[in-house]
Structure 1
Amino acid sequence: MWNTEPRHLAFRAHKNGVVTSMQFDGERIITASDSGKINVHDVQSGALLRKLEGHEGGVWAIQQYQNTLVSGSTDRSIRVWDLEKGECTHIFRGHKSTVRTLEILPPTQVDQDTTDEADTVHDWPLIISGSRDSTLRIWKLPQAEDPTYLLSTDTQGEDCPYLLRVLEGHQHSVRAMAAHGDTLVSGSYDCTVRVWEISTGALLHTLDGHGYKVYAVAIDQKRNRVISGSMDHTVRIWSLETGAPLFTLEGHTSLVGILELKEDILVSASADSVLRVWDPENGECTSVLSGHSGAVTCFQHDNEKVVSGSDRGVKMWNVQTGVLEKDLLTELSGVWQVCFKGQHCVAAVQRDSATFIEVSPTTIPYAGNPLIGEDSRF
């Protein structure tokens, strides 16, 4: 039985600042803002557990790995935080401009067969950072037992013991990236997608074809492909092995800013207010999710549902059929982030010029299940 009157939780956060990035591990909601502040809230009560302060500019990217948070900022630094203690343990410098995107890559097993044990590309987690300075940097993620490493602002950081390599080649800002195994894919405002070998830093392919800036990339592990979204309104699919273009997915009429691939479902979101669901095998569009009144700013999907945000609200769709199941939030003045995990869905929104985090502690219904009560915003 579904709870017909789920409890809805909404609380203020970051005053009236923009929530630039959000992580949610099922218990803690971690939000970063353009003010440079990072907040950690309890999902059950909304209580503020930690305030992570230290960045001297807006925080544009955060990534969580177990009890560690990594953040990147307009102050050009990367900070590593102990979430339990609420302390900054490491500061990495070296980027010459805003750190715009981050990935944490766990040790990855590859080349597994029935007779041999899997090999690992690297024996420790990695931080990969992309910057408006056109470079990417690969760092070793500090471990809990490592001593603190806090560089002063006048230190360049090229001799940082955690820095493994610098990837150079893009001619403009690095806007997006994805990593798996020993492969890193980056998308840039120089209109290219580049494929790198993480272990050596070698550039394997430069994927030319987009006419304007690249805003989103994804790796299709199953089919050994790269997927990219661009300001030229298209989604493109490329061979990861050869770099050859395979499909150009057309239909959007504005910037394609977000891509997400889950198994056999690819979803793209655009400034044209529409989400499109694609078959990644052949590039065919299977559904068009139309109903938002402005640019789609965020979404997450799984095999049953898509939860998406735009300027006025948050919607939930059936990803299999494309049917709008429910308006989850309405009468907003902005939606910056949405995510769901387990029995909770979290949205970072603006309402009446103030920033709120809104949480549903009940499971978002899957396709074919009864919808939750009409009294809940989720």
Structure 2
Amino acid sequence: MSLPADERLKSEIAGKRAGGSAASDRAKIEEVAWTRWVENPEPKHISFPAHGSSVITCLLISHGRIISASDDHSINVYSLPTGELLLQLKGHEGGVWALAVSKDTLVSGSTDRTVRVWDLKTGKCTHIFGGHTSTIRCLAIVEPELVDVEDANGVDTDENPYHRFHLEGHEHCIRALAVRGRTLVSGSYDSTVRLWDVITGELKRVLKGHTQKVYSVALDLGRNQAYSGSMDGTARVWDLRTGDCRHTLTGHTSLVGLIELSPSHLVSASADATLRIWDPDSGELQHTLAAHTGAITCFQHDEFKVLSGSDGNLKMWNIRDGTVVRDLLTGVTDVWQVVFEGRWCVAATYRKDSTVLYVWDFGVDSEDLLKDTPGYDEDSKDLDDEEDEGAYKIKRFIEAQVSADSLGDQR
């Protein structure tokens, strides 16, 4: 009698742990997790109303919580397993268009031109950052959360003790940010991508090549590359050391509004109703995902799957062969956002004049599979390699955040 997949995995990991590696353990776990997503015919799921009939602009999963932001000026925090409303964060005077989270700290950006910092344990707003001149569409929390700001760099710290730099250079709205360690990449409606050092505030390079607005960026320090998607219908791969364009990725016929990177795959999503999977090293097109009929409104991927929303449908694809695995949702009016983490998947939709959140549970968490195997070390559960860029001296400043103006664009 054969063992269930979960038990086979635990046996394999336990037998090889002495001579194996954390990376190989993780690969086995992810394989079983992928099997769960594919083979589970009826995953547990719940749905519940959220934010009335307002658009959900941002959606996150963090530490057992669903965090949603909306055009209705509010941020809601729900229990991931039950859908219970835990917190409603109010204070913004405009729609909330950007969110970033780190542990129990949430940062939000709004059409009211402010950035707010929230304590997710208490629901209280701890800081309000002003100074932007228009809608804040994108922001990022710099890791590590505490960085060296011994030098004030000419900023009046009495008036604004949290302000670090004003990064100037773009000639139009900044639409996208990606940050890792001390490296920040920004994409703008001025058709350029810019590379910054967030510790010194220095502009390192201006990456030119797109002929229309840049809507999306991604950053890959391991390969020394940045990636960008544009209204010109192309995605580009940039060399961070030289500023040269390594590859121009063609094939989309409309705006490349979304771009995302995993270790083995670069995925772009377009208003032409397709997603494309690329080799991030060679720029080679691996697969075209072409089963939607409208602009791709949201997607997320990992090493095994892509989830994409468009035309009232939420689809799951096999990233390795580009085939549709299943439709998770059909027949809704809009799919605004989708996010998955471990066993969980959450989608924000519009249906029958109401905003609805859907939550799917595909089974045991990957980390739980690892914990249940003999020889598991709780102290070494972080399987990701640390980056040198994160090793800064800690002196002061609680949260380093980077945000972007959409100059002249109130939406």
Asked if 2 retains the 8 angstrom alpha-carbon contact of 1:29 and 1:41, the reply is yes
Q: Which has the higher helix share?
A: 2
> In structure 2, what is the equivalent of residue 318 of structure 1?
318
Quick one: distance in 2 between partners of 1:71 and 1:58?
10
Task: Please show how residues 242-321 of structure 1 align to structure 2 within 5 Å.
Answer: 242-321=242-321
Determine whether 1:237 maps to 2:237: yes
- Which residue of the partner structure matches residue 141 of structure 2? 104
Q: Name structure 1 gaps, 5 residues minimum.
A: 109-120, 125-137, 139-155, 367-378
**Following the alignment from structure 1 to structure 2, what is the Cα–Cα distance between the partners of residues 158 and 170?**
28
Instruction: Assess, with a 3 A threshold, how the Cα gap between structure 1 residues 364 and 214 changes in structure 2: closer, same or farther.
Output: farther
**Corresponding residue for 1:330?**
330
Partner of 1:208: 208
Is 1:91 the counterpart of 2:128 in the alignment?
yes
**SS of corresponding position for 2:59:** strand
| Partner in structure 1 of residue 345 of structure 2 | 345
Give TM-score scaled by structure 1 length.
0.82
The whole-number CA distance in structure 2 between the counterparts of 1:297 and 1:102 is: 19
Map of 1:146 onto structure 2:
none
Structure 1 residue 167 corresponds to structure 2 residue 167 = yes
Match of 1:122 among 147, 152, 160: 147
Q: CA deviation at 1:287?
A: 0.3
Q: CA deviation at 1:35?
A: 1.2
2:220 corresponds to which residue?
A: 220
Aligned to 1:113: none
Q: Distance in 1 between matches of 2:256 and 2:42?
A: 37
CA contact (8 A) 2:182 2:199 kept: yes
Native 8 Å contact 1:295 1:311 kept in 2: yes
Tell me how many residue pairs correspond in the alignment: 324
How far does residue 5 in structure 1 lie from its aligned partner after superposition?
A: 3.9
Q: Give the conservation status (yes or no) of the 8 Å contact 1:345–1:364.
A: no
Q: What is the aligned partner in structure 2 of residue 42 from structure 1?
A: 79
Name the CA distance, whole Å, in 2 between partners of 1:364 and 1:259.
Answer: 29
Amino acid in the other structure paired with 2:359: V
Q: Partner letter of residue 122 of structure 1? A: V
Is the CA contact 1:312–1:335 (under 8 Å) kept in the aligned structure 2?
A: yes
State the TM-score, normalized to the length of structure 2.
0.76
Gap runs ≥5 in structure 2: 5-35, 367-411
Q: Measured at CA, do residues 12 and 158 of structure 1 come closer, stay the same or move farther in structure 2, by a change above 3 Å?
A: farther
Cα distance 1:364–1:192, how it changes in 2: closer, same or farther (>3 A)? farther
* Aligned-partner Cα distance in 2 for 1:193–1:71: 23
1:15 aligns with 2:15: no
Q: Kindly state the Cα deviation for residue 246 of structure 1 after the two structures are TM-superposed.
A: 1.1
CA gap of 1:290–1:4, structure 2 versus 1, over 3 A, is: closer
Deviations 1:55-105 (A, max 9, x none): 000000011110011000000000011111111111110111111101011
User: Highest Rg: 1 or 2?
Assistant: 2
Does structure 1 retain, via aligned residues, the 8 Å contact 2:336–2:348?
Answer: yes
The one-character-per-residue Cα deviations of 1:248-298 (angstroms, maximum 9, x if unpaired) are 000000000111110121000000010000001111100001111111011
Q: Which structure features the higher share of strand residues?
A: 1
> Deviation string for 1:311-339 (max 9, x for gaps)?
31100000011010001100011111101
Query: What SS does the aligned partner of 1:165 have?
Result: coil
Cα deviation, residue 187, structure 1: 0.1
Q: What amino acid is aligned across from residue 321 of structure 1 in structure 2?
A: D
1:29 pairs with 2:54: no
Pair 1:356-2:356 in alignment: yes
**Are the aligned partners of 1:26 and 1:344 in contact in 2 as well (CA < 8 Å)?**
no
Aligned: 1:61 with 2:98: yes
Q: Find the aligned partners of 2:157 and 2:268 in 1 and give their Cα distance.
A: 37
- Report the CA distance between 1:159 and its aligned residue: 2.8
Contact 2:262-2:301 within 8 A present in 1 as well: yes
Residue aligning to 1:177: 177
Indicate conservation of the 8 Å contact 1:92/1:157, yes or no: no
Letter in 2 for 1:20: T
Identical-residue share of aligned pairs (%): 52
Q: Give the match for residue 15 of structure 2.
A: none
Structure with bigger RCO (C-alpha 8 Å, 6+ apart): 2
CA apart distance, 1:122: 3.0
Q: Name the SS for the 1:340 alignment partner.
A: strand
Deviation per CA, 1:212-262: give whole Å up to 9, x if none. Answer: 000001112221011100000000011101101111000000000111110
The residue that corresponds to 2:374 in the other structure is none
1:341 partner letter: E
